[in-house]
Amino acid sequence: MAAELVRGQNHALPEHKVRITVSAGTPVLALASLGDERGAVTGPEGIAHPGARELPGVEAPDGSADRHRFAVDLDAVDPAVYQVGVLLSLPPGGPARFGAVAAPHLAVAGVDGTVLAEYTLTGLDAETAVVALELYRRQGAWKVRAVGQGYADGLAALFADQGLTAPGAAELAARVHACVAAPVAPDPVPVSGVPYAGTPGPAPEPSNAAEPTAASAPEPAPAIGADGTINYAHPRRRRTSTEPPEPAPRAAQPSEPGQAPRPVAGDAGGWSMDEWLYNQVWGMFEDLARTVAAYRSAVDFADSRMDRELDEALSDPRHRIGGSGNAARDTARARRDELVAQAQAVLDRDLAQLAAECEVVEPALPAPYARWDNPVWHDHHVPEESPLALRLGDLHLPERPDLRIPMLVRLPLERGLWIDNGRTGSEAAMAMDTDRLRRAAMDMAVAHAARLLAVHPADRFSVHVIDAAGAGAASLAPLVRAGVLAGPPAAGAAGVSATLERLTRRVDLVQMALRAGAPEDLPPDVDTAEQLLIVHDFPHGFDDRAVTRLRYLADEGPAVGVHLLMVADRDEASAYGPLLDPLWRSLMRLSPVPDNHLADPWVHHAWTFEPDLPPQGSRVLDQALERVAELRRTGR
């Protein structure tokens, strides 16, 4: 039985030679794209279109028609290809938008005609081009995913989102449109069992779906917007040497026939094992987001269909006599339960595979990505190179709270952090004593600072602290005791002013040196290492001038290596009103207790964030700081 996919859902492909048919209510263009592990095409040569139909392993249809058929041999694609996309576009002179025509229907079938998966592109409106499906490689196996990502600005916008430059995307779109002749007749011999007429899909796509920018954004900028949306764009790390890349990541281990391949750590692309693991973590994050979205969409569809059938049954006068009305209601509920059970089975299968992957990935993570209870910290040595990313905590969804994905952010930090020690807006925070909550927030800030110090070369990172009232002394004790701070924690208004003035001067001098093209001409007293400023109990000890300087550091500091970590209660800081709001919006908000204020960029789930702190009674943090201090003392 073929799997009827909803937007975001994936399905395993047991066969590597497949036929993809497209049935539309109007002539359309059908194209294919070959993408790397990040979803980016290598250039115009990575697009199969009517003017250049054949690529290794893929043959695209010719011309514009209401029916198309692709031939795909996944064993013949280049080893660097991880994604094969199926793209549809309205031709010049055709309908103005997909919303004005019947929903296109796609089917993926084996060479014998057995349909493996189907997808109906419902919900399109002003779009004129769409990424309909993608076949993608994951842990050595191929899967098909229903994407349904549309573009109102047409093929040029779609190509640009797949990694082409704006001029190149526009030029290729014009070339594709120019080579389209009159609509061609459909292939008279369809793949057996594949319907050509569009049929309603089993469920509408989630109404809160977002663009899958993580695999296609031209420039990565991992960030969280003012609405709490995480942009976990897959990295496009620029190669900095002419050395050949490291060998391809390890293939997934073989499994029993009919079962998914056993996962392995590092099953992704990149220039190093750290980058392979980084990519793999965010692949898991996206898979979990889309798998749960497909399940929720299927349940919503089952509920809406039951409601519709119940309304129809109750509106029919014949069902008001005898037991026919009860029978109709029972039938509608049974259909709903059957659909939900099918969706639950698919969800359980996908979550089990992700859980198995987490079990092998988590122990293999390097110190910057690892939990504090990971044994890697017991044998950790201060590195000679700066890390790629940093773990801030874990993320999970209510469908499987124990399945936690590491929350990694790229380094250097593009935005500062705000650890909220207030009780407003969080049920978990409301249940905690105020003093305990404030201590937990400061402990979390110290843990982040200790991790940053431990995973950077000893001379590449400096930490400054503003603790105007001295309320954070207990939490700061490990940093002070190890002697790894740039200076004693600043106290009082004078200490606040002096620290902010020193860091503001550094930002100004580095900016001027960079603009002059002479970064080596900085004064000898300027610390060129990355700087982290921890501010505790803001706004205590701050006047208007200090707040202005703090905002300046938040805006201008990250570009020249000065980063901000605030530990504060926004309600207490609200007295500054509009003066504070830009600062709040520019920082990434985290919570010292579980809180679901973060969202992903694909379907906007509300993810619960769990902070990662050293185990109670453990000396792992002290030991990491002692290694940093020892290396600084010896200069080794």
Select the highest-mean-pLDDT range: 351-355, 578-582, 602-606.
351-355
- Using CA atoms of 598, 216, 412, 482 in order, give the dihedral in degrees to the nearest 10: 50
398-421 pLDDT, tens digit per residue, is 999 999 999 999 999 989 999 988
| DSSP 8-state code for residue 445 | H
Sort strands 606-611 and 389-396 into parallel, antiparallel or unpaired: antiparallel
**Residues pairing with 530 in the sheet:** 461
354-401 pLDDT, tens digit per residue, is 999 999 999 999 999 999 999 999 888 888 889 999 999 999 999 999
- Residue 134 in contact with residue 41, Cβ under 8 Å? no
Indicate the pLDDT class of residue 294, thresholds 50, 70 and 90: confident
How many helices (DSSP H) and strands (DSSP E) are in the chain? 12, 23
Hey, is 350 helix, strand or coil?
A: helix
> Where do we find the tokens 């764009």?
233
Task: Please say whether the dihedral angle defined by the alpha carbons of residues 354, 216, 414 and 485, taken in this order, is positive or negative.
Answer: positive
Q: In whole angstroms, what is the distance from residue 390 CA to residue 234 CA?
A: 15
Amino acid letter, residue 566: M
Closest by CA position to 397, among listed 610, 605, 611:
605
- Residue 279 in contact with residue 269, Cβ under 8 Å? yes
Task: Please say whether the dihedral angle defined by the alpha carbons of residues 111, 117, 120 and 124, taken in this order, is positive or negative.
Answer: negative
Sort strands 141-151 and 405-410 into parallel, antiparallel or unpaired: unpaired
Q: In whole angstroms, what is the distance from residue 392 CA to residue 199 CA?
A: 45
82-120 pLDDT, tens digit per residue, is 999 999 999 888 888 898 888 899 999 998 888 899 998
196-234 pLDDT, tens digit per residue, is 222 223 333 333 333 333 333 333 333 334 344 433 333
CATH number of 3-184: 3.20.20.210, 2.60.40.1180, 2.60.60.30, 3.30.420.280?
2.60.60.30
Contacting residues for 40 by C-beta, under 8 A, at least 6 apart: 162, 163, 215, 216, 236
176-202 pLDDT, tens digit per residue, is 888 774 343 333 333 222 222 222 233
Amino acid letter, residue 84: V
Q: Is the domain covering 413-634 a CATH 3.40.50 domain?
A: yes
- Residue 6 in contact with residue 297, Cβ under 8 Å? yes
**Cα 70 to Cα 48, 84, 412, distances in angstroms:** 11, 11, 43
Amino acid letter, residue 275: E
- Residue 250 in contact with residue 266, Cβ under 8 Å? yes
Hey, is 6 helix, strand or coil?
A: coil
**152-169: b or e for each residue (b if 16 or more CB lie within 10 Å)?**
eebbbbbbbbbbbeeeeb
Among the residues of 316-464, which ranges form H helices? 324-364, 427-430, 434-455
